[in-house]
Each structure stands twice: as structure tokens, then as C-alpha cells.
Amino acid sequence: MTIREAAEKWVGEWNAIPRAVVARLIRDGVGTWEELTPAVVGDRVYVYSEAQGGVIVNAIDEGGTDTLYTIELDGGDEMQFTEENFEVIRDDDLPMWGTMWTFGDSVDDWWLESGGLAIMATHGLRIYDIEDLGYCFGVDGAGFSFYNEIWESLYKERGLQWHDEREEATISESA
């Protein structure tokens, strides 16, 4: 099995949920919900103390303390802030793509809780904790191959090894 086939198998185990269903759960107040997506490099933000926008250009995890973000402000200055000093600017409460997912295996949920949030956010996913649904995530983008741009690299970073290294090597040699 190639990495692509393994990623397809992994994604095939997930539960697909229409974005409209998630929106209805949130709108109707069926349980509580919270967006868990951490800020990542490239996010557009509004910095409260500076009363202006900017873009995150670097993030330094201080190991047990708050992450320190370097933000290039619209005025050109670069300053460092912790996450409580700014807000990520999003187009909507939910990701733009019409389908959202929950993992099909609780081991993936454990991975998400144990450091996977930042990895998923780096790949353009927005993650939520929704009562009675659990962790739910969706792609905040469109117009590209999810497998090429997200799922295959997420499979690798998740540490899954369902693929055959020899088959991957053969494919790389013939390319």
C-alpha cells in the first residue's frame, strides 16, 4: 500500500458530517461547543493593544508556558505577543468546506488531545469540541486536492505506518 492509499484508508474511517448539520447544532444550542484551533503561522490577527491587524510570522513554544507569537503588524513593525493579546480573524464561525469530520477511532482523538491540534491547524484544519459529537474538524479552504495538500502529510505527521516503504521507494524511483 502506498502512502496515498494508506491516507485514503485512514480518511475512509472518519465520519463525514455536512457542515450544515454542525451549523444547526451550534445555532440551535444543542449542547455546548468550542473552537479549539490554535493560532498558526500565516494566520491574520487583530492585536488588541495595538488596535491593528497583522500576520503571524513565527511561533515559539516556550515548553509548558504560553506560545510566543511574532506578529508583523500592518504598520510594518514586528512585535511578540501571547495568544490572549490577539484574535485570529476568520471569515465565518465554521470552515468554508461543506463537509466536516470526526475521527472513526478514539486513538486519533487521543492523538489530537496530545499535540495533534497544532499539527492539524498547520494543515489548514479548524477543530471544534462539540458536546454529543466530540472532536469535529473541517478544511478552511477550497480549490486544491485535500489528499495532496492535507491528508497525506497529516497521515505522516500522525505517525501512521500502514504503507509499504518498499512500494513508496519503487514509486519514487520511477517518477
pTM for the structure as a whole: 0.85
Domain boundaries, the chain: 3-38+91-174, 44-88
Q: How confident is the model at residue 53 (pLDDT cuts 50, 70, 90)?
A: very high
Burial of 120: CB neighbours in 10 Å, binned 0-12, 13-18, 19+: buried
Count Cα neighbours of 161 within 13 Å in the Cβ-side half-sphere.
3
- Mean pLDDT is highest, among 25-39, 51-65, 89-103, for 89-103
* More confidently predicted of 29 and 80: 80
CA distance 140 to 90: 9
Does an H or E element contain 26, and which? helix 19-27
Q: How confident is the model at residue 30 (pLDDT cuts 50, 70, 90)?
A: low
Q: What is the CA radius of gyration of the chain?
A: 18
CATH class name, domain 44-88: mainly beta
CA geometry: angle at 139 spanning 5 and 134, to 5°?
90
Does an H or E element contain 60, and which? strand 52-60
Helix/strand/coil for 173: helix
pLDDT per residue as tens digits for the range 139-161: 988 888 898 889 999 999 999 98
Residue 132's pLDDT is what? Answer: 80
Residue 172's pLDDT is what? Answer: 56
At residue 69, φ and ψ (nearest 5 deg) are -105, 130
Do 155 and 8 contact (CB within 8 A), yes or no?
Answer: no
| Region 82-98 average pLDDT | 92
